[in-house]
Amino acid sequence: MELPKLILASGSPRRSEILGFVGWEFEKQVADVDETPIKGETAEIYVERLAIEKANAVAETCGNSLVLGADTTVVVEGRIIGKPENPLEARSMIAGLSGRWHDVITGVALVSITDSETRCVSGIQRTGVRFSELTEAEIDYLVEYGEPMDKAGGYAVQAQAALFIEEIRGDYWNVVGLPVSLVYRLLEKIA
């Protein structure tokens, strides 16, 4: 089996690591798109739209290529929780996850450009995550050592937050940052 080379339209080190873990050859080209949610947009529509926009933005600058775009968000009781902008916001996010379930939703898009056509396929992956009840000291620990600033929901499941996660329902790699099995299934549709 041979996986086609991808252009990853993301600067995420976690997405790069996941593709590397499975042996997928790729290069990175960061997409510059406005990530502001549109009023009334559901989390599912939001992440899929951004994944498509990122893949298209990079695809427009490339010749024949296969471009992967992705976007991840955390949802608590229907409310989109993005990336924290400062430690105070990270603390609030993590406290809001304490003792509760939340969803990690990732939109994935593949854009294929050839001399004759441009094709796009996309989809979403949802994974449920439950944190244990966190003490103030544990929340402080995650804010100080968990590097929350560039992560949806302010935590990394594969790092310090692993100490406090009681259960995951669904694709673990989705919570890390890229549901690579969804990428593979989409590849089958676009090939």
Active site residues: 71
Helices 87-97 and 136-145, interaxial angle, to 10°?
Answer: 130
Nearest to 19 by CA among 100, 131, 97, 108: 108
For the chain, the C-alpha Rg in angstroms (whole number) is 17
Amino acid at 135: T
Quick one: which H or E segment has residue 135?
none
CB atoms within 10 A of CB 117: 7
